[in-house]
Structure 1
Amino acid sequence: MALTTSCPGLAMVVPQPIERFLEGTGPLLDVRTPAEFAQGHIPGAVNLPLFSDAERAEVGTLYKQQGRQAAVLHGLAVVGPRLKGLAADLAACSADAEGAPLRLTCWRGGMRSGNVALLAESLELPVRLLHGGYKSFRRWALELFERSWPLRLLGGRTGCGKTELLLALQQRGAAVVDLEGLANHRGSSFGGLGLPRQPSTEHYENQLAIALRALEGAEAIWLEAESAMVGRCRIPAGLWRQMKAAPVLEVQRPLEQRLAHLVAIYGQHDPDAVAEATRRIAKRLGPQRTAIALEAIANGEATEACRQMLDYYDRCYDHDLSGRGVVTVELGEQTAEQAADRLLADGLMGKHT
């Protein structure tokens, strides 16, 4: 069945369904406002806003108060002076793409992306629209998490180097989704130290959806055993339900090795920031451990500070995995690369079926 668009005059630009749109190689341009884009967008998209946040609000108010015609006329008045610059941006993007069609999207795939597509066509630039816009992408992403995925979890107490091991496995060809990397957070009260600002949960879901899509057909997809929240980002409900039922490979390391790993990660950060993160879990640490940890931080004794906090995190981890089927492997002082080679050589990455 042919897809059509509601934009009058847009006869030559046929909106594409989401899968075909995502398979394209041309620049992905999101013409929504900066605020809409920041809340969430298709990963890899570049924001080329037709309206500013305030301008879109004005158009929306006019639409509600005076109707479509008044809103359209005001929108044209706002955009008109910028058309030359917008056209130049489209031409530059197309030139960089070496002939691949520009891929355009807005919220519903209607007027905003449609009008920009008309402008691109007037410049004889190849262009594609997303049928249903970003809204259709969001529906596709959330449905993706409800599919059955062959998930496997890599577990281990705090400081075992699970993330580094997963990345080493990924470099060796294993199918891996880096939950913490996509969230810009290591998953504890200290997890945001030294990392960029976290995405919104909406955009986190978008990134996870694209990551999963790239692994379709894999026999096993490995993720780190996490709680439902990675910092402020929530793991999608459909994926989280499958994670709770997935088999777990638990890596173990000696306490001193774990402490050294944590000091290497967090010991370089501002002591005040580390102390603030410690205070956030003071009720769970208890007054005595909190006081000892804060004193150790103040004295530059990072190993002792980490030692005081590991008891709390170990108890949380053990509680989360209680009742689960777990296969354990002792890694000793092996590097992430050595451990990855060992797990692959021993066939442990394929035992959980």
Structure 2
Amino acid sequence: MAFTLNTLPADEFLQLRASLPLADVRSPGEYVSGHIPGAVNIPLFDDAQRAEVGTVYRREGNARAVVRGIDLTAPGMSGKLKSGLKLAAGGKLLVYCWRGGMRSEAMAWLFSLGGIEPLVLTGGYKAYRNHILGDLGRERNYIILGGLTGSGKTGILRRMKSAGEQVTDLEGLASHRGSAFGALGQALQPSSEHFANMLYDDLNAHRADSPVWLEDESRNIGTVFMPDPFFDRIQSAPVIALMMSIETRMPRLVREYTSFPVEEIMASVVKISKRLGGDRARETLDALKRGDYPTAIRVILEYYDKSYHYGLSKRPQGQVIYINTETDDEDVNTVLVMQAAEGLR
């Protein structure tokens, strides 16, 4: 029986993820750089094979590249089919490659030999990326929770989420807490590409009739850069900025940072020494060496506070709602934030 390739556009393909498993048939390196969340990698070529076939294509043309590809992959075809059979559900499997071309077609044919009905993404991963980047730039009802470093914003957002508010945790998705010290105690960061993929899923899990809360971030969170359409969109969202003194924030930050090896903290200070300035950097490092965390933290906060105040001052008049508080009690401050947001709903 002739093989018929069944293809789906990105929106329909993504809707089926809730009920069908997903196979990414690109090379392992492509998969690691970024993939559709939930996809399992069943590569037609490994990284070396992909590079070799690409070289043959450029030097000798398409036909020779196809022949070389068959030579390289034929010994492993049974293993790929077994992986597909193990992954498929109800005899069906979603499949994609980079452009929806020969790799996905070849793997779809292979899976069909085992009785699987493959559904291939039209235009492949490239079409998926175009789809999600367009979606990330669309208008949504965002509210940004801002505030000075150490004001407990992440904890407040967790409390709001527990109370039923819609929250997208940008720092959680990026595996970084946003400052020069944000990598401490965190897992390896995803690529900027894969961050955007996860962000799309997170935002589309929210209801359209209620606002989505985000923490105020710069364009990059550690090594992760937010997608431009999304970052540009949230720049116009209202900001609720929690303001408290250094003295109020100090106990929280001392607790947090004394839990990390001092060598790691000092290494983070060195990374921003040019921005801090030589004198402040030396003062901070000297304080850390003698275990004087309050002095070190105060120097760092003075730098970050000045930078954050400047950033807020650049926003249009009326975009920022300031909340002045004299406590770092997250329950109290959550109530203050929710009260301030009443007029934004």
After TM superposition, the score normalised by the length of structure 1 is: 0.89
Say whether residues 1:49 and 2:43 are aligned partners.
yes
For the residues of structure 2 that align with 1:226 and 1:71, how far apart are their CA atoms?
46
Inter-CA distance 114–168: structure 2 relative to 1 (3 Å threshold): farther
Q: Residues of 2 paired with 1:100 and 1:321: CA distance?
A: 54
Matched, 1:75 2:69: yes
SS of structure 1 residue aligned to 2:242: strand
Q: Deviations over 1:55-94 (max 9, x none)?
A: 0011111112222221111111111111111111111112
Structure 1 gap segments, 5+ residues each: 1-8
Q: Distance in 2 between matches of 1:253 and 1:103?
A: 51
Answer whether contact 1:155 1:225 (CA < 8 A) is retained: yes
What SS does structure 1 have at the residue aligned with 2:240? strand
- Residue 79 to residue 311, structure 1, CA distance change in 2 (3 Å): same
SS in 1 for 2:94: strand
Contact 1:26 1:100 in 2 (8 A): no
> Match of 1:267, as an amino acid?
T
Match of 2:25 in 1: 31
Please identify runs of 4+ aligned residues in structure 1 that moved more than 3 A. 330-344
After TM superposition, give the deviation of residue 301 of structure 1 in Å: 2.5
Superposition RMSD on alpha carbons, in Å? Answer: 2.0
Using a 3 Å threshold, how does the CA distance of structure 1 residues 83 and 93 change in structure 2: closer, same or farther?
same
> SS of the counterpart of 2:241?
strand
Map of 1:6 onto structure 2: none
Q: What per-residue deviation string (whole Å, max 9, x for no partner) do you get for residues 287-325 of structure 1?
A: 332222111211222232111100000011101101433
CA contact (8 A) 2:91 2:116 kept: no
User: Given that residues 81 and 110 in structure 2 are in contact (C-alpha distance below 8 angstroms), is that contact kept between their aligned partners in structure 1?
Assistant: yes
The aligned amino acid for 1:249 is: I
**Corresponding residue SS for 1:15:** strand
Deviates more, 1:117-126 or 1:304-313: 117-126
In the alignment, the residues of structure 1 paired with residue 333 and residue 14 of structure 2 have an alpha-carbon distance, to the nearest angstrom, of 35
**Counterpart for residue 268 of structure 2:** 277
Q: In 2, distance between residues paired with 1:245 and 1:86?
A: 48
Asked whether the equivalents of residues 287 and 295 of structure 2 are also in contact (C-alpha less than 8 Å), the reply is yes
Mapped pair 1:187 → 2:178: yes
Query: Does the 8 Å CA contact 1:105/1:133 hold for their aligned counterparts?
Result: yes
Matched, 1:124 2:118: no
Q: Secondary structure at the match of 1:154?
A: strand
Pair 1:17–1:171, CA change in 2 (3 A): farther
2:10 aligned to 18, 21, 34, which one?
18
Partner of 2:236: 245
Letter in 2 for 1:26: L
3-state DSSP of counterpart to 1:102: strand
Q: CA deviation at 1:10?
A: 4.1
Task: Provide Cα deviations, 1:5-56, integer angstroms capped at 9, x if missing partner.
Answer: xxxx541x41111122111222221111111112211122222211111100
C-alpha change, 1:110 and 1:201, in structure 2 (3 Å) is same
The equivalent position to 1:156 in structure 2, one of 141, 147, 157, is 147
1:83-102 to 2 correspondence within 5 Å?
A: 83-94=77-88, 97=89, 99=90, 101-102=92-93
Match of 1:300 among 268, 291, 306: 291
Distance in 2 between residues matched to 1:285 and 1:258, nearest whole Å:
20
What letter corresponds to residue 22 of structure 1 in structure 2?
L
Aligned partner of residue 129 in structure 1, secondary structure: strand
> Which residue in 2 is equivalent to 1:144?
135
What count of residue pairs does the alignment treat as equivalent? 339
Decide which of 97, 112, 119 is 2:103's aligned counterpart. 112
Is 1:267 the counterpart of 2:258? The answer is yes
CA distance in 1 between partners of 2:91 and 2:167 (Å): 30
Change (3 A) 1:126 1:341: farther
Q: Quick check: 1:351 aligned with 2:316?
A: no
SS for the counterpart of 1:351 is helix
| Unaligned 5+ runs, structure 2 | none
Shift of 1:240: 1.8
CA deviations on 1:112-147 (whole Å, 9 max, x unpaired) are: 122212222211123321111100011112211321
Aligned to 2:249: 258
Residue identity opposite 1:232 in structure 2: T
Q: Structure 1 residues 228, 80: CA separation in 2 closer, same or farther (over 3 Å shift)?
A: same
